[in-house]
Amino acid sequence: MRFDVITLFPDLIKNSFEHGITGKALSSKKILLNTFNPRNFSEDINRKVDDRPYGGGPGMVMQAEPMIAAIREAKKQSKKPHTIFMSPQGKIFDQNKAEQFSTMGHLVIVCGRYEGIDQRIIESEIDEECSIGGYILSGGELPSLIVMDSVSRIIEGVLGDPDSARKDTFSNGLLKHPQYTRPESGAYGDVPKILLSGDHELIRKWQLKQSLLKTRQNRSDLLENRVLNEEELELIEEIIREEQS
């Protein structure tokens, strides 16, 4: 998987990606990462890449020429790049989108700054706009890191245990069940006895019920859009009965 990031702050991207799972993936070349700074493509003597918006308004807007030149250079790195612009106006990034991106092979991720980027950049170079949530940040670098981290986890060989990605929250459309480790008991409570029983079927069912419970409490919208199977329906009914008792 190849990531090329268009950013005014390349060190922010590179330094953040050198740690943990992504750092190991870079070392083993499971993923490739490069950055392109629009300032290096500016014809201005001071490498200026922004100007005041036409029509008035506060702040500055990133100019089309240096941004497009940087994007096009990044696109040359493969035959089929997919270019996304990190923007609060884009479609929400979720696990399904991460799965989709992981199959593309080459993502060019454009990070804006200031008040945004010239619309002509979007119209000529961007395949889709992508948002990590309904709030405003100072730039697209942090969202781009989130996208790349999430996508990287899906790439074969990046995680030490392939089951890790398959059992993550959202991997089956539900929030993940609670998890515990040693010691079995302590000042802050005890591990549920069922997890110590050694009965794999009982444990599986308990974990599914806890996933449904947590999803119902924290992200009920996920259940509204989910077709529940017979076992899940029974567990939801059991949860409701327990809440009403």
Beta carbons of 140 and 90 less than 8 angstroms apart: no
Rg (CA), the chain: 23
Active-site residue flag, 88: yes
10, 168, 219, 226: the catalytic one is 168
115, 128, 129, 232: the catalytic one is 115
As a whole number of angstroms, the longest Cα–Cα distance in the chain is 73
Which residues on adjacent β-strands are paired with residue 2? 32, 106
Beta carbons of 121 and 71 less than 8 angstroms apart: yes
Active-site residue flag, 115: yes
Q: From CA 128, how far away is CA 176, in angstroms rounded?
A: 29
Q: From CA 168, how far away is CA 157, in angstroms rounded?
A: 16
Q: From CA 215, how far away is CA 222, in angstroms rounded?
A: 7
Q: Give the ranges where the chain is alpha helix by DSSP (H).
A: 10-16, 20-27, 64-75, 95-102, 119-125, 141-154, 162-166, 200-218, 220-224, 230-244
2, 65, 72, 88: the catalytic one is 88
2, 72, 153, 216: the catalytic one is 153
Burial class (CB in 10 A: 0-12, 13-18, 19+), 53: middle
Q: What is the DSSP letter of 117?
A: B
Q: From CA 202, how far away is CA 122, in angstroms rounded?
A: 52
Active-site residue flag, 53: no
Active-site residue flag, 168: yes
Catalytic residues: 88, 115, 153, 168
